[in-house]
Structure 1
Amino acid sequence: MIHCEGLVKIYKAADLEVFALQGLDLQVEAGELMAIIGNSGSGKSTLLNMLGGLDRPTAGVLQVNGLDLLRAGERDLIRYKRETVGFVWQNNARNLIPYLTALENVELPILLTGRSKRQRALYLLEAVGLAHRAGNKLNQLSGGEQQRVAIAIALANSPKLLLADEPTGSVDTRMAEQILDLFRELNRNAGITIVIVTHDPQLAKKVDRVVAIRDGKTSSEMIRKKSYAEELAELEMGLAEAETETHVEYAVLDKAGRLQVPAGYLESIGAKNANKVKLEVADGRIIIMPPESAEGKG
């Protein structure tokens, strides 16, 4: 569904150039439910905007559902945004029109397709558990209910890819759980590929794969030992206890053999501020040592 290779994005302001993405690689299979995490300024929102067709890469490869988003014309991009991708923003003001009812908000994007909007909109509100609130204006809905209306809007044109930018950032823990459960249900029942961008590492416990971005590159991946569904089934049957470590973390190795070593690892061997380290191969393992340790050993 998503293929990124050597993705670069440079923003220019006056004489200043800012590298938001610096050769990012990412693969997402069709039907995946995955999360992208990273600190503020890591490049995750830049990536999301490009996946949504809202911004273009400076260089590299970016293909979504077979469309080359670097070279696509304006007409293809408009069709892509209407038919392929749906967006859920953290700020509900970007999703919703306040003077319309929940039903009217969902009907609006369906108007562009010429389909019967009322039936489709009611179906989507029911899918997100809000059929009983169809006639309510936004000021009559809670933050979590508004976010679920936003999800229904994002699904209005049956997208193949759903992008969610901090979808649980403005709701409480209980509502965040419900929204994530809704994403899982949509992913499982409708087969929609869902990419959630967040700074919250707790999301790692809810999805099967998490990609971490640091300094504009993918730095590590966390892959669940067992699928979330398998884990829940075992817990319900009393066959297993909840694991504290649900995922295995892998460093990402690019085609040139480069990887990002977590800062905590480097700090633990006294090499946090070093600009070079010593590598050795021993017993089938690659050992990283700080420069002073390597020099002393020599």
Structure 2
Amino acid sequence: MIHCEGLVKIYKTADLEVFALQGLDLQIESGELMAIIGNSGSGKSTLLNMLGGLDRPTAGKLTVDGRDMLKFKERDFVRYKRESVGFVWQNNARNLIPYLTALENVELPILLTGSRKRWRAKELLDAVGLSHRASNKLYELSGGEQQRVAIAIALANHPKLLLADEPTGSVDSRMANQILDLFRELNRTIGITVVIVTHDPELAKKVDRVAAIRDGKISSEMLRKRSYAEEMAELEQEDEEGTHVEYAVLDKAGRLQVPSNYLESIGVKNSNKLRVELGEGKIILLPPEEKEKAE
């Protein structure tokens, strides 16, 4: 569904260039449910904006559903955003019109395409568990219910790709779990590809793959060992910390980003050097000797 290769994004001002992405490589399969995590400024929101057609890459390769987005003209971006991708934002003001009911909010994007299939809006509200709130105005809905309406809107035009930017950032943990379960259910029943951007590592327990961004590049990935359903069935016996296997990601030059907490655990804090040894088919990383640290 998504192929990024050497993706670069530079923001320019009068006398300054900021590299938001620095040669990012990423592949996302059709029908996958994954999360992209990273600290503020890591580049995760920049990536999401480019996947959604809201921003154009500076260099590299970006294809979504077989289409080369670096070759898109303005009309291509308009069509792509209307027909191929759905957005869910953390800020409900970007998703919803306050003076409309929940049903009218979902009907609006359907009517704007010229379709008269208003019944689809009722189906979508039912799919997100809000058919009983169809006639309520937004101020009568909780934050979590508003976010569910936003998800229904994002699905209104049958997108192949659903992008969510911090979708649980403005709700409590109980509602956050319900929203994440809803994403998983939609992914399973509709087969839609879902990419969630978040700073919350707890999200890893709900998705199949987590890619971590550091300094504008994918630095590591975590892959689920077993299916989520299997793990839920064995929840009482399952060690929550053991649900995923973590991988570091090599770029094409053979460079490796090692998480800082791993480095600190072997005593590497104030050095940019590591000892590398090869033994028994393994590459072993060790802290530098005291003499090397001093140098």
- Normalising by structure 2, we get a TM-score of 0.95
Question: In structure 2, what is the equivalent of residue 195 of structure 1?
Answer: 195
Q: State how far apart, in whole Å, the 1-side matches of 2:126 and 2:143 are.
A: 18
Alignment match, 1:271: 268
Deviates most, 106-115 or 46-55:
106-115
Return the TM-score normalized by structure 1: 0.94
> Does 2:227 match 1:241?
no
- Paired letter, 1:272: K
d(CA) in 1 for partners of 2:207 and 2:281? 32
Residues 24 and 218 of structure 1 are in contact (CA less than 8 Å); yes or no, is this contact kept in structure 2?
yes
Structure 1: where are the runs of 5+ without partners?
A: none
Count how many residue pairs are aligned between Structure 1 and Structure 2.
Answer: 292
In structure 1, the residue matched to 2:66 is 66
Distance 1:263 1:16 in 2: 28
Native 8 Å contact 1:278 1:294 kept in 2? no
Is 2:85 aligned against 1:89? no
Offset at 1:295? Answer: 5.3
Residue of structure 2 in register with 1:106 after alignment: 106
Partner residue, 1:9:
9
Paired AA for residue 25 in structure 1: D
- 2:286 is equivalent to residue 284 of structure 1: no
State the shift of 1:291 in Å: 3.6
> What SS does structure 2 have at the residue aligned with 1:70?
helix
Correspondent of 2:249 among 248, 252, 256: 252
User: Contact (CA 8 Å) 1:106, 1:156: kept in 2 or not?
Assistant: yes
- 2:287 and 2:138 mapped to 1: Cα distance? 57
Q: Once the two structures are superposed, what CA deviation does each residue of 1:135-185 show, in whole Å capped at 9, x if it has no partner?
A: 111111110000000000000001000000011111111111111111111
Kindly state the Cα deviation for residue 132 of structure 1 after the two structures are TM-superposed. 1.1
Q: Percent identity?
A: 80
- Output the amino acid matched with 1:232: M
Deviation at 1:293, TM superposition (A): 5.5
Cα RMSD between the aligned structures?
A: 1.5
Contact 1:86/1:162, CA 8 A, preserved across alignment: yes
In structure 2, the gaps of 5 or more residues are: none
Residue 36, structure 1, aligned to residue 27, structure 2: no
**Which deviates more, 265-274 or 99-108?**
265-274
Aligned to 1:230: 230
Q: Secondary structure at the match of 2:174?
A: helix
Counterpart Cα distance in 1 of 2:292 and 2:25: 35
Deviates more, 1:114-123 or 1:158-167: 114-123
* CA distance, structure 1, for counterparts of residue 54 and residue 181 of structure 2: 27
Q: CA deviation at 1:204?
A: 0.5
